[in-house]
Amino acid sequence: MTNTKHLTTGYVYSDKLLNYRFHDKHPFNQMRLKLTTELLLDTGLLLPEQIIKPRLATDDELLLVHQFDYIQAIKHASHGIISEEEAEKYGLNQEDNRQFRHMHQHSARIVGGALTLADKIMSGELINGCHLGGGLHHAQPGRASGFCIYNDIAVTAQYLVTKYHQRVLVIDTDAHHGDGTQWSFYTDEHVFTYSIHETGKFLFPGSGHYTERGENIGYGHTVNVPLEPFTEDEAFIKTFNKTVVPVVKAFKPDIILSVNGVDIHYRDPLTHMNCTLQSLYQIPYIVKSLADTYTNGKLMMFGGGGYNIWRVVPRAWSHVYFSLIDQPIQSGYLPLHWVNKWKNYAPVQLPKRWEDKLNDYTYVARTKEITAKNYKLAQLITSWYDNREN
Ligand SMILES: [Zn+2]
């Protein structure tokens, strides 16, 4: 039952993307990408001919966002010839972003994958696509941060502006603030960055306050929606819908780039949100329908965070892809082939169904108060935005 409609959706993947790995015990583990890709292939809904092999981004492409001296430092780190001072200056002395062999190539490949997909969408060969190995939203123009070396989203956004004169909207629903992308375009009017995340009061990187709105000609082209810790599904989705729709309507993007970190899940070990797969399944469909309405469907979906690589990421990211091909949200059993193969490797019990089991879900007593705070913030953001637009 090959559906040719799939063929207008691209899927960036190569086993080489798994080489982006700081060290064996680091929480950022791209094995999740292989798990997701095999799950999708096993459903029969992702066809091998849709897979796009990533190329390496060139230095000129990286320079669209990143500083020359930073790229040089990453190249030095690639070969283990970086000085301590240089490592400290560029954020490579921290456990989060420790240098690893060939880190330049492996990071440039993530960016190259995104650019390949962008070219295919702009040429009309594809309508949309996803690059779940990308989404490294903390990388700054001149500094590594939060597991991120090169910011593939920011480079792609600038590439789309420079090469194709696009108005680009970035919608970031990762649990962490998309700070690297935001600061790359803080004084820019062609790229709008929207980020909904757990408040920086308690979580890395600490920024993303709702008063961060851009500067100079970029003023009003940054929107931040910092949510309370322990926010649950209904409040997340409502707050997201309420704040993202006015942004898309007002900015009128030519293309949307979305960052689909899945670390708002209650089982994610690094954050304090209380959402389930229900939210993670709905979010990409909301973004897809915005793209259908406002950008003629032009849409690139990236990955991002997600540190429960067995029980959360593969099912959640599968729905990023499913939303792109207009496949409804899945229910029932996962492909048996996938479960049987990976249960031998998983250190935890693998899920058997698409639905979250919720046997270990904790309902928070303060839900009402948390929800009320989120809605109040959404109101504040949208009324500021409405007033500005009128
Ligand atoms: Zn994150």
pLDDT in tens, the chain (390 residues): 445 667 899 999 999 999 999 998 899 999 999 999 999 999 999 999 999 999 999 999 999 999 999 999 999 999 988 999 999 999 998 888 888 999 999 999 999 999 999 999 999 999 999 999 999 999 999 999 999 999 999 999 999 999 999 999 999 999 999 999 999 999 999 999 999 999 999 899 999 999 999 999 999 999 999 999 999 999 999 999 999 999 999 999 999 999 999 999 999 999 999 999 999 999 999 999 999 999 999 999 999 999 999 999 999 999 999 999 999 999 999 999 999 999 999 999 999 999 999 989 998 889 999 999 999 999 999 988 777 765
| 8-state DSSP, 18 | G
- Gap from CA of 262 to ligand 1 centroid (Å): 7
- Give the pLDDT confidence score for residue 1 in this predicted structure: 46
Distance CA 166, CA 346 (A): 43
- Gap from CA of 26 to ligand 1 centroid (Å): 14
- Gap from CA of 4 to ligand 1 centroid (Å): 34
- Gap from CA of 110 to ligand 1 centroid (Å): 17
CATH number of the domain residue 36 falls in: 3.40.800.20
- For residue 65, what are its two tokens? 């966002």
- Give the pLDDT confidence score for residue 96 in this predicted structure: 87
Please report whether residue 325 resides in a domain.
Answer: yes
Distance CA 260, CA 14 (A): 19
Please report whether residue 388 resides in a domain.
Answer: no
Please report whether residue 348 resides in a domain.
Answer: yes
- Give the pLDDT confidence score for residue 97 in this predicted structure: 84
- Give the pLDDT confidence score for residue 208 in this predicted structure: 98
Structural domain count of the chain: 1
Please report whether residue 157 resides in a domain.
Answer: yes
- Gap from CA of 61 to ligand 1 centroid (Å): 25
Domain with 272 in it = 9-383
Hey, what amino acid is at 314?
A: P
Please report whether residue 121 resides in a domain.
Answer: yes
Distance CA 138, CA 175 (A): 12
CB 253, CB 294: distance < 8 Å: yes
- Gap from CA of 304 to ligand 1 centroid (Å): 6
Please report whether residue 389 resides in a domain.
Answer: no
Please report whether residue 1 resides in a domain.
Answer: no
The pairing of strands 299-302 and 128-131 is parallel
- Gap from CA of 390 to ligand 1 centroid (Å): 34
- Give the pLDDT confidence score for residue 277 in this predicted structure: 98
- Gap from CA of 389 to ligand 1 centroid (Å): 31
- Gap from CA of 171 to ligand 1 centroid (Å): 14
- Gap from CA of 35 to ligand 1 centroid (Å): 19
Please report whether residue 94 resides in a domain.
Answer: yes
- Gap from CA of 328 to ligand 1 centroid (Å): 26
- Gap from CA of 311 to ligand 1 centroid (Å): 16
CB 213, CB 243: distance < 8 Å: no
Q: pTM score, two decimals?
A: 0.97
- Give the pLDDT confidence score for residue 390 in this predicted structure: 56
- For residue 45, what are its two tokens? 């809904």
Label residue 311 left, alpha or beta by phi (over 0 means left) and psi (-120 to 50 means alpha): alpha
- Gap from CA of 2 to ligand 1 centroid (Å): 35
Q: Quick one: which of 225, 300, 322 has its CA closest to 264?
A: 225
Determine whether 95 is exposed, middle or buried from the number of CB atoms within 10 Å of its CB (0-12, 13-18, 19+).
Answer: exposed
- Gap from CA of 332 to ligand 1 centroid (Å): 28
- Give the pLDDT confidence score for residue 3 in this predicted structure: 55
